[in-house]
C-alpha cells in the first residue's frame, strides 16, 4: 500500500476498542448490526474484534468477515498481540473476508517494557519482525502498532518501525495509548517518524489515541497535517476510560475545514474532493445505533451528534439562524443525516410500508426478523397514535439484543401510589422454558421490579445507573431506559424502550442480566492487560 492514499483512511475500532468501554459488551447479532451500518457509513477498515479473547469474540469476527465487506466494502481486521497463537486466531477469524487484515502490536515504551512485559528493547527488536513475517504468511495486509508510542523514545520507535516495514507491515500505527500527548507533541512525533524512518514511504502511517485529556481529535488532526493518512477512531468516541477519538468529529472536521486541510494533501484549497470516503449522511443513524446497542448515552452537548448540536435557544442566535443559518451553524444538519421527518406510520400501516421505511433507515431485515419487528410495531401502534423513525429505530435496536438470552421477561405488573407501598409482580422464563414468579416491595415501582428480578435470577449484582429519556415528543412517547449493573468490578448495560417506562426498565434490567451471565461464561481476555502466556510466545 502506498504511503499516501490521497485521502484519510478511516479505521473504525468501535467493535474492538469501543466495546472495551465499561458496560458496553455486545453480543454477536449486535456486532453484526453495527458492522453492516459501518459498511453503509463507508469506513475503510472495520476492526471487528480480538479473536483470541474468547470463542464468542472469534465467532463474531468470523461472522462479520463472512457477511460484511466484499466488492468495495471495508477491510475486515482482527487484532492480535505479537504472539503466534493470537495471530493464528486472527487469521482464521478474518479468513472469510474478501479483504482482510491482521493488526498485531507490542509495547515500545520503557514503562510498559519494564512493568508490564518485563522485556528489554532488544527483545522487542527480535519479536517484531518475526511476528510481522508470521502474520504475512496468512494475509497480505498486515498492520503493526507500537503500543504506548506517545511515551516511547523516538529513536527506539524509528528502529522498531523500520524493522516492521521491512518484515512486510503495510500500515504502521502510532498509538497515544493513555491520551498523554498534546497536539504539537503528537504532530512532531509523526513528523519525526516521516523524517527518520528510511523505508516509511512503503507504509501508510496511522494514528490511534485516547481522550484522557480531551485532546484526541486535536491530536489526530495535527497528525494528518504531518503525514498521517489513517485515523483509528470510534463512533461517539466510545472506548476505555475517557474513550477514543470520535469518528464523527474527525470526519466533519476534515469536511467543514477542507479548504484548510487540502494543502497538506498537495491539493488546491478550493478542491471539492472529499478527504475521506465516509458518507456523512449516515453519521447520525450510526451514532444512534451504537448508542442504543451499547447503552452508552450520547451527551446532549456532544459535537455533531448530540441532541443540542443544532439547537439554538439564545434569542440573538435564533434571530441570526432564521435570517441565515450560516450565521451560527457551520454544519448543515442534513449533511450528517439529521432530518426533521414528521411522516409517521400508524396502526393502519401495512407490512410493506413498515419494511420500506426500515429499508430507508438502513435496516435490511430477513423475513423472520421483519415479522417480529412488524408484530412489535403493531403492538406499539395500538398504544401510540403515530410511530416515528426514532420509534422504529428503538424497536429494531432492542430486537437485536434478544439472542444469547438466559432469561426472558414474561410478565411485569406494579401497583403504587401516594398511599400504597410500591409492589411488583414479575414472571421470568429461564433458558429451559421454566417459569418462575416473584412479588417484591420497593421504594418505588422500578426498585420493586429490580428486587423481584434479582430474587428470580439469583445473580448477585449492584445497580449503579438507571436513566430514562423519551424517544420523541408527546405524552405517548416511548421511554428509553438504560440500566447498568456491576459485578466483580465490571459493568454490564441493558437497554429497552416502551411506552410504559416500568416495562422498559424491567426489560432493560433483564438485558443487563443476560449480558452479565454471558460475559461470565465467555471468560474473555483483554488485549493490553492480559500478558501473552509463555506457551504462546514465539521461540526466539
Question: So where are the chain's domains?
Answer: 9-294, 408-522
147 and 175 in contact (C-beta within 8 Å)? yes
| Per-residue pLDDT reduced to its tens digit, 108-141 | 999 999 998 889 999 999 999 999 999 999 999 9
Q: How many residues does the chain have?
A: 540
What radius of gyration, in Å, describes the C-alpha atoms of the chain?
24
130 and 160 in contact (C-beta within 8 Å)? no
Instruction: Report the predicted TM-score, pTM, of the whole model to 2 decimal places.
Output: 0.86
Residues 6+ apart with CB under 8 A from 359: none
User: What pLDDT is attached to residue 321?
Assistant: 40
Please, is 347 exposed, middle or buried when counting C-beta atoms within 10 Å of its C-beta (0-12, 13-18, 19+)?
A: middle
Residue 153: Cβ within 10 Å count: 12
Q: Which residue spans within 229-327 are E strands per DSSP?
A: 230-233
Taking 50 as the pLDDT cut, the residues of the chain under it are 312-323, 342, 534-540
| Per-residue pLDDT reduced to its tens digit, 506-527 | 999 998 998 888 776 666 788 8
User: What pLDDT is attached to residue 2?
Assistant: 55
Residues 6+ apart with CB under 8 A from 251: 10, 276, 278, 280, 283
Between CA 163 and CA 12 the distance in angstroms is 26
Per the listing, cell 434490567 goes with 509
Question: Where are the alpha helices (H) located in 137-245, listed in sequence order?
Answer: 154-166, 183-196, 216-225
**In what helix (H) or strand (E) does residue 9 lie, and over which residues does it extend?**
strand 9-12
Between CA 207 and CA 145 the distance in angstroms is 9
Q: Give the CATH number of domain 408-522.
A: 3.30.160.270
* Class in CATH terms, 9-294: alpha beta
Amino acid at each position: 500500500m502506498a504511503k499516501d492514499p490521497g485521502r484519510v483512511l478511516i479505521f473504525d475500532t468501535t467493535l474492538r476498542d469501543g466495546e472495551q468501554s465499561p458496560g458496553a459488551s455486545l453480543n454477536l447479532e449486535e456486532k453484526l448490526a453495527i458492522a453492516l451500518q459501518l459498511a453503509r457509513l463507508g469506513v475503510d477498515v472495520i476492526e471487528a474484534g480480538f479473536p483470541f479473547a474468547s470463542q464468542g469474540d472469534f465467532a463474531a469476527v468470523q461472522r462479520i468477515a463472512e457477511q460484511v465487506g466484499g466488492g468495495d466494502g471495508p477491510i475486515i481486521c482482527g487484532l492480535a498481540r505479537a504472539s503466534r497463537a493470537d495471530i493464528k486466531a486472527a487469521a482464521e477469524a478474518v479468513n472469510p473476508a474478501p479483504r482482510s487484515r491482521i493488526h498485531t502490536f507490542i509495547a515500545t515504551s520503557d514503562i510498559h517494557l519494564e512493568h508490564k512485559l518485563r522485556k528489554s528493547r532488544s527483545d522487542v527488536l527480535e519479536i517484531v519482525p518475526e511476528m510481522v513475517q508470521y502474520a504475512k504468511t496468512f494475509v497480505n495486509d498486515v498492520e503493526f502498532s507500537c503500543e504506548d508510542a506517545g511515551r516511547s523514545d523516538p529513536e527506539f520507535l524509528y528502529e522498531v518501525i523500520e524493522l516492521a516495514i521491512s518484515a512486510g507491515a503495510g500500515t504502521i500505527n502510532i498509538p497515544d495509548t493513555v491520551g498523554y500527548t498534546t497536539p504539537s507533541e503528537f504532530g512532531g512525533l509523526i513528523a519525526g517518524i516521516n523524517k527518520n524512518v528510511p523505508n516509511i514511504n512503503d507504509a501508510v502511517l496511522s494514528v490511534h489515541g485516547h481522550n484522557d485529556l480531551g485532546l484526541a481529535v486535536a491530536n489526530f488532526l495535527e497528525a494528518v497535517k504531518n503525514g498521517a493518512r489513517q485515523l483509528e477512531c470510534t463512533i461517539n468516541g466510545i472506548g476505555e476510560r475517557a474513550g477514543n477519538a470520535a469518528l464523527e468529529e474527525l470526519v466533519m472536521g476534515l469536511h467543514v475545514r477542507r479548504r484548510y486541510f487540502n494543502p497538506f494533501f498537495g491539493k488546491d484549497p478550493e478542491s471539492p474532493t472529499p478527504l475521506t470516503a465516509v458518507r456523512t449522511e449516515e453519521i447520525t443513524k450510526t451514532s444512534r445505533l451504537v448508542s442504543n446497542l451499547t447503552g452508552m448515552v450520547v451527551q446532549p452537548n456532544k459535537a455533531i451528534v448530540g441532541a443540542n448540536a443544532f439547537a439554538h435557544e439564545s434569542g440573538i442566535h435564533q434571530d441570526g439562524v432564521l435570517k441565515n443559518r450560516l450565521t451560527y451553524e457551520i454544519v448543515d444538519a442534513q449533511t450528517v443525516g439529521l432530518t426533521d421527518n414528521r411522516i409517521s406510520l400508524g396502526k393502519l400501516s401495512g407490512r410493506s410500508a413498515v419494511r420500506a421505511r426500515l429499508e430507508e433507515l438502513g435496516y435490511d431485515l430477513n423475513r423472520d426478523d421483519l415479522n417480529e419487528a412488524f408484530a412489535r410495531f403493531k403492538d406499539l401502534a395500538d398504544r401510540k397514535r403515530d410511530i416515528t423513525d426514532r420509534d422504529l429505530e428503538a424497536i429494531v435496536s432492542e430486537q437485536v439484543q434478544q439472542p444469547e438470552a438466559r432469561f426472558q421477561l414474561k410478565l411485569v405488573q406494579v401497583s403504587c401510589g401516594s398511599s400504597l407501598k410500591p409492589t411488583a409482580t414479575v414472571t421470568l422464563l429461564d433458558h429451559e422454558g421454566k417459569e418462575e414468579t416473584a412479588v417484591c416491595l420497593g421504594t418505588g415501582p422500578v426498585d420493586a421490579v429490580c428486587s423481584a428480578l434479582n430474587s428470580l435470577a439469583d445473580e448477585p449484582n449492584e445497580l449503579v445507573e438507571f436513566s430514562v429519556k423519551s424517544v420523541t415528543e408527546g405524552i405517548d412517547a416511548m421511554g428509553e431506559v438504560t440500566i447498568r449493573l456491576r459485578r466483580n468490578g465490571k459493568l454490564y448495560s441493558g437497554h429497552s424502550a416502551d411506552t410504559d417506562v416500568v416495562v422498559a426498565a424491567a426489560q432493560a434490567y433483564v438485558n443487563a442480566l443476560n449480558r452479565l451471565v454471558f460475559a461470565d461464561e465467555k471468560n474473555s481476555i483483554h488485549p493490553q492487560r492480559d500478558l501473552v502466556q509463555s506457551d504462546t510466545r514465539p521461540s526466539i
